[in-house]
Amino acid sequence: MDQGGRVVIPKILRDRLQLCPGHSLEILERDGHIEVSPAPASITLVRRDGVPVALPEGELPVLTEEVVRSTLEHVRR
């Protein structure tokens, strides 16, 4: 952490998580640890042919096979 309190996320992690400059992050404190994760996407509900549809507010990262595999491994632990 630098003197201004800023933390740099290593490039290998940014690439793996598809984080780009400007993406929002959620920062939590749990059991004395800091947890940083991509913030949930904001959505807007609209109706299409009478059916509610969730649309993202902004662009979402591409869902790659690597991201899916990593997520599955994480939730199975």
The arithmetic mean of pLDDT across residues 24-51, rounded, is 91
What is the dihedral angle through the alpha carbons of 46, 47, 48, 51, rounded to the nearest 10 degrees?
Answer: 120
CA distance 69 to 74: 9
Q: Which amino acid is at 43?
A: I
Confidence at residue 3, expressed as pLDDT on a 0 to 100 scale:
94
Give the whole-number percent of the chain exceeding pLDDT 90: 43
pLDDT of residue 60: 78
pLDDT greater than 90 at residue 46: yes
Q: pTM surpassing 0.75?
A: no
pLDDT score recorded for residue 75:
87
Spatial CB neighbours of 6, under 8 Å, sequence gap ≥ 6 = none
